[in-house]
C-alpha cells in the first residue's frame, strides 16, 4: 500500500496547532471537515452572521469543537494562529490584518 510520507508529516506537524479557516463557503467545507479530524484548535472566520450561514453545519462543527468568529468584525480575532487557510477572495482583507495577527503561516486554497 502506498503511503504519502509528506501528507503523514503534515498531519503530525499540525496536531495541536491553532488553525484558522477564512470563509465557511462551499470551497472550504471539505477543508474544515478534514481539519476537524486532525486534532487542531480550529476557528472558522466568516463575514456572514450565524443566521446567514448553514445552521446544520455550524451545529455539526460546534459539536466537534470548532470555534467561530462571525459577522462584520470577524477579523478582529484573527491573531495568534499558527496556520491560516484562506481563499483568494479574502486576500486583501488578510493583508490589512497581517501586521496585527501574529500569524506564522498562511495557505492559499
The answer to whether residue 53 scores a pLDDT higher than 80 is yes
What pLDDT does residue 70 have?
97
Position 3 in a domain: no
DSSP string for 55-85? HHHHHHHHHTT-EEEESTTGGGG--S-SEEE
Could you tell me the pLDDT band of residue 97, with boundaries at 50, 70 and 90? low
CA distance linking residue 51 with residue 37, whole number of Å: 26
Digit-coded pLDDT (tens) for 6-41 = 999 999 999 999 999 999 988 899 999 999 999 999
Q: Which of 90, 107, 105, 81 is nearest to 25 (CA)?
A: 90
As a whole number, mean pLDDT of residues 42-49 equals 96
Position 6 in a domain: no
Position 8 in a domain: no
CATH number for position 40: 3.40.50.720
Threshold 0.85, pTM exceeds:
no
The answer to whether residue 44 scores a pLDDT higher than 70 is yes
Domain that holds residue 92: 15-108
Number of domains in the chain: 1
Q: Within the chain, where are the H helices? A: 5-14, 29-36, 55-63, 91-101
What pLDDT does residue 27 have?
85
Whether 29 and 58 have beta carbons less than 8 Å apart is answered as: no
The answer to whether residue 108 scores a pLDDT higher than 50 is no
Amino acid at each position: 500500500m502506498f503511503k504519502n510520507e509528506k501528507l503523514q508529516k503534515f498531519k503530525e506537524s499540525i496536531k495541536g496547532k491553532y488553525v484558522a479557516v477564512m470563509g465557511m463557503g462551499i470551497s472550504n467545507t471539505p477543508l474544515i471537515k478534514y481539519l476537524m479530524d486532525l486534532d487542531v484548535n480550529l476557528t472558522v472566520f466568516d463575514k456572514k452572521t450565524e443566521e446567514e450561514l448553514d445552521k446544520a453545519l455550524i451545529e455539526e462543527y460546534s459539536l466537534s469543537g470548532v470555534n467561530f468568529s462571525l459577522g462584520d468584525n470577524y477579523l478582529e480575532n484573527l491573531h495568534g494562529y499558527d496556520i491560516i487557510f484562506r481563499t483568494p477572495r479574502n486576500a486583501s482583507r488578510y493583508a490589512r490584518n497581517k501586521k496585527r495577527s501574529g500569524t506564522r503561516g498562511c495557505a492559499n486554497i
